[in-house]
Structure 1
Amino acid sequence: MNKLILKKGFLPMLKYHNDMNLIAFKDFSQRELNIFFSLCLLMKEKGTGEITLSYDEIKNVIPDRFESNTKFEEILESVYDKLLQLRLESRDKNKIEKFILFTSYKIHVNEKTVTINTNSDYSYILNNLSKNFTLFELQEFNELSSTYSKHMFRLLKQYRSTGFFRINVEEFRRLLDVPKSYTMKKIGVKVLGPIEKELVSYFKDFKIKKIKEGRSITNLEFTFKPQHYKCNDEIDIIDTIDVEASQSNLIEENKDQIVCPKCGRQLFKCTAKNGDIFWGHKNYLTSDCKATFSTIEDVEAARVKEEAKIKAKEAEAQAIKDHWYYTIQDPKEREEFNKEVKQLLDKHSDTLILMEFTDTYIKIQNKIKHPKFDKLSFNPAFTIPINRDTITEIKKVIDGDL
């Protein structure tokens, strides 16, 4: 039996598939929630089949203290009774599935152990998690005193990288097991009040906004500062999360090519305190480049973005250079250009009238209206910008090609 070894100063990270957040933990007490999610932590990445846990293992990861083993067993039994009522729901366009996560749950009083059997068809909830998962410190969860705060804490951790979560009021009521009798005013006092009071310590800039449609509150918005984790040699690490096999292969095949798009120095695979894997500089605290990336794909996306910036700057510089060249800014070259234009106009002075010749344009007119413009009541004049095509454009006027 694999044991979770807790070292001093290390904080256990609970990770489960986001589908778990669709469950409404109806009638669970604060203590029962602590036990359930502690069980999830101990069962994480243990595969399927029967898993046996000792009382001490469970007690070791929860803050609650029990008067006796008998009291502990009563709560374990209560948790199981409520687990049997839980239904995890999976929906897509073609089917709807409802299932339970644990198929059996045995409390061995003499051995002081609990044996749990997971539903093998849905072991993905706690196993082989590489994406679409919720991750948080179990200790922080256990410290919360309100069940509403605990539920909201989990839901918000799913959106920790964006710092934004919006939920329909009815779904909010269901997921947090809010009594049907509660009005919105009472929800504000009894539910949102404790949530705001407790979670402000765990989510920076935490705010709750009520969204109305007409006179009714239909949605709730929760915002907070996104939680990103930096690479730090001093960060305590307890559990390294898995990387998808395809990504692991990519890491292995391209070790020498994973460099920072911003500074060009090598990036290292790091594991933050919360268990997130990301790419960053080895000595983050002393490095002048603070860039971090969640995945290799993010590194590549940033590289493409940086290359695009460089190309844009190069194109801008070239455009300036081309404009300088195209508009004939060089004084000596401009002098030669003016001379050539005047020679051309002098050569055709019998057919052309020079009306204006400025630094930016030249205005000319045919002495005799060209047949192409017979339908016009006037003889048109032509304003031609000064650039390297000016002489060509003058010749077109002379030849009637305009």
Structure 2
Amino acid sequence: MSEDLKYEMVEYSKDVATSINEFSAYELDVFLCLVYVSRSMLDHRKVSETENLKLELPSSMVKKFLTGAHNSRVKKAIENIFDTKVYLKDDKYTKVRHLFEGLDYSSDYKTIDFELKKEYIKLFYNLSGNFTQHKIKEFTSLKSRYAKRIYQIIMSYKNLYKWEFDAIEFRKILDIPDSYGWSDIDVKLMRKIKVELQNNTNISDISLIKEKSGRNITKVTLKWKLSNTEVLEEIDFIEELEEVIEENILERKQLSSESEKLYENYMKMNDAIKKIIYEKAKNYFLEEIGIPKENKTIDKIWKKTEKLYVVKVMKGDI
């Protein structure tokens, strides 16, 4: 795996992660790659929701995350994604949704014409909460569709270490055949999912706890644990990030006279207003570098770049 791609994160609404859909394993990969690339091409926090979102995506950016990126295979996946029915929990999984107005692979295979319907922009852009975040390469490294869907669920609620489902809802989200009994699910699906996730991610000890009402299983609780693999990877990433910031961002830490004056004005403000500006600046900093939590290294970097981000807030750039 290319180190450049290893830590790239994709974000989207949990409503997508827990949707009922008919995507194949490969189509799920292509779909999330389209989301990732489209978000990287614009300011994904400020996307108009009054009209469809139209973009021309470079196919090379999409394919670099895929295993098996032959043009004919990608084209077929794109056609299927366009036609795929999606059911969202907000609709109680009853309404058929088609997310795209248009999705087409150009004849020279260089671009993908992407038109997302305006009512679904909120599922992938302008995210302020209730969203899933995970490594795009980690997701595409999984082979089984079942493993990918369980991965999406766990990444949506990972720090809760469990999530409860109506039994029928769980079966539909995973698209489990009606012919499979719960013992089949344990033996044929969950065992394999557990091995695949444990071998490719920091997720371990997956279990499915079933609850009965009378003779029927009516609820299931998915449980999991997270190893410290992700923590170790994050430490490596932060160290690399610090080097980049030292070499690039810190070269610009000398503010212009205008910016210095803005910062002086900030320092003269009352504590309540300063707190609002400070928190907005720091939250933007954490989001920009892709680390949602603080640690000693991140705090060190923040102290060196705090003025830059405070001034951005003062200027209205954030």
TM-score by length of 1: 0.54
Equivalent of 1:275 in 277, 285, 290:
290
Pairwise mapping of residues 3-402 of structure 1 onto structure 2 (< 5 A)? 8=4, 10-26=6-22, 28-44=23-39, 45=44, 47=47, 48-66=52-70, 69-82=71-84, 85-91=85-91, 99-110=97-108, 112-201=110-199, 202-213=201-212, 214-225=214-225, 232=235, 233-234=238-239, 253-254=274-275, 271=286, 275-282=290-297
Any conservation in 1 of the 2:208–2:222 contact (CA below 8 Å)?
yes
Following TM superposition, the consecutive aligned residue runs of length 4 or more in structure 1 with deviations greater than 6 angstroms are: 227-231, 255-258, 267-270
Whole-Å Cα distance in 1 between the matches of residues 171 and 292 of structure 2? 34
Whole-Å Cα distance in 2 between the matches of residues 252 and 59 of structure 1? 46
- Contiguous gaps of at least 5 residues in structure 2: 245-270, 301-318
Percent sequence identity is 22
TM-score by length of 2: 0.67
Whole-Å Cα distance in 2 between the matches of residues 51 and 256 of structure 1? 33
Which protein is bigger by CA-based radius of gyration? Answer: 1
Whole-Å Cα distance in 2 between the matches of residues 54 and 119 of structure 1? 20
Comparing both structures, which one devotes a greater share of its residues to helix?
2
Whole-Å Cα distance in 2 between the matches of residues 88 and 34 of structure 1? 19
Whole-Å Cα distance in 2 between the matches of residues 13 and 194 of structure 1? 25
Whole-Å Cα distance in 1 between the matches of residues 124 and 207 of structure 2? 30
Query: Amino acid of the residue matched to residue 19 of structure 1?
Result: D
Query: Amino acid of the residue matched to residue 183 of structure 1?
Result: G
Higher RCO, 1 vs 2 (CA within 8 Å, ≥6 residues apart): 2
Whole-Å Cα distance in 2 between the matches of residues 251 and 235 of structure 1? 35
Aligned-pair distance for 1:256?
9.9
Any conservation in 1 of the 2:167–2:219 contact (CA below 8 Å)?
yes
Whole-Å Cα distance in 2 between the matches of residues 108 and 283 of structure 1? 43
Whole-Å Cα distance in 2 between the matches of residues 236 and 283 of structure 1? 9
Provide the aligned C-alpha RMSD in A: 3.7
Any conservation in 2 of the 1:270–1:279 contact (CA below 8 Å)?
no
Question: What do residues 40-72 of structure 1 show as CA deviations (whole Å, max 9, x unaligned)?
Answer: 111222835211112212111222242xx3343
- Contiguous gaps of at least 5 residues in structure 1: 1-5, 239-249, 259-266, 286-402
Any conservation in 2 of the 1:80–1:105 contact (CA below 8 Å)?
yes
Relative to structure 1, is the Cα distance of residues 257 and 18 closer, same or farther in structure 2, using a 3 angstrom cutoff? closer
Whole-Å Cα distance in 1 between the matches of residues 143 and 288 of structure 2? 23
Relative to structure 1, is the Cα distance of residues 283 and 200 closer, same or farther in structure 2, using a 3 angstrom cutoff? same
